[in-house]
Amino acid sequence: MDLVEKATDPIIRFSGVHKRFGPKIIYSGLDLDVYPGEVLTIIGGSGVGKSVMLKLLLGLIRIDAGSITAFGEEVTTMAPGPLTGLRKRIAMLFQGGALFDSMTVAQNIKYPMLEHGWGDPASRIERVAEVLEMVGLPGVEHLYPAELSGGMRKRVGLGRAIAVQPDVILYDEPTTGLDPINIRRINGLIRSLQRRLGVTSIVVTHDMDSAFTVADRFAMVRDQHIGYTGTRAETEQSEIPWVREFVVGGKGVLDD
């Protein structure tokens, strides 16, 4: 994969990360590098903490030990101000889209712009129209989430995620609950945004068909750490028994 091979320094690095919730150990020495411009897909069995990894990166959950750096800065010790700045550069598309029901589509997309002081009123209106065009939903600014299908809500959520022009987009189970047409649409958007915007993407998914559609590289969570990383071709051809069993036998049946 050219993007990974050409990159010299990771844009994000997890080093020796430990996390537990009560007696349940989630990570015991998590190490993972994410390189600029790649689509890295995180796979693994149910309950292994794939989504937790994204929340640790954003500082929504604090680690117990170790280090997480983004853009060369330590995330785990950031004060609220710098952490807000980090969340402008790293956007997240949550599973259900996480739209505010009482707000119109336009108001939902403007929310992070207002939160981060992005632009003036006229440029924000223009940006809403621009991102809706990008996600294939022009002209829906006035609608409310209840008036949208599940696939449309996901796309509006994606529009909101890219509104402030982040460097990294995190996708938490982006195709869960969608029909095949919308699954293809979301997968296509992940790839097209990478090409058009040059963003780095981390995708958590249990859908192996989608994973192989979008991924440049895979990282598999196993035994409380990253047990395997490899390119799409390496993963398809892997002879490691538990990787092969998951990739071939786990299509569409495991979730987090």
What type of residue sits at position 214? Answer: V
Pairing of strands 200-204, 217-222: unpaired
Write out residues in the chain with pLDDT < 70, as ranges: 1-7, 96-97, 249-256
For residue 1, the model assigns a pLDDT of: 44
| Residues in the chain, total | 256
Give the model confidence (pLDDT) of 38-87 as tens digits.
999 999 887 889 999 999 999 999 999 999 999 999 999 999 989 988 98
For residue 188, the model assigns a pLDDT of: 92
For residue 124, the model assigns a pLDDT of: 95
Whether residue 17 is contained in a domain is answered as yes
For residue 150, the model assigns a pLDDT of: 87
Split into its structural domains, the chain has a count of: 1
Pairing of strands 217-222, 39-44: parallel
CATH number at residue 244: 3.40.50.300
φ/ψ of 218, rounded to 5, equals -115, 150
Q: Is the dihedral of CA 180, 241, 57, 12 positive or negative?
A: negative
Range of the domain at 41: 2-249
User: Which position has the token pair 């979008």?
Assistant: 214
Whether residue 160 is contained in a domain is answered as yes
Whether residue 181 is contained in a domain is answered as yes
CA 215 to chain centre: 12
Whether residue 42 is contained in a domain is answered as yes
36/235 Cα distance (integer angstroms) = 20
Give the model confidence (pLDDT) of 132-151 as tens digits.
999 999 999 999 999 999 88
Whether residue 254 is contained in a domain is answered as no
Tell me the two tokens of residue 97: 């889209």
For residue 169, the model assigns a pLDDT of: 95
Whether residue 189 is contained in a domain is answered as yes
Contacts for 205 with CB less than 8 Å, ≥ 6 apart: 41, 42, 43, 171, 173, 174, 175, 211
Whether residue 256 is contained in a domain is answered as no
Whether residue 167 is contained in a domain is answered as yes
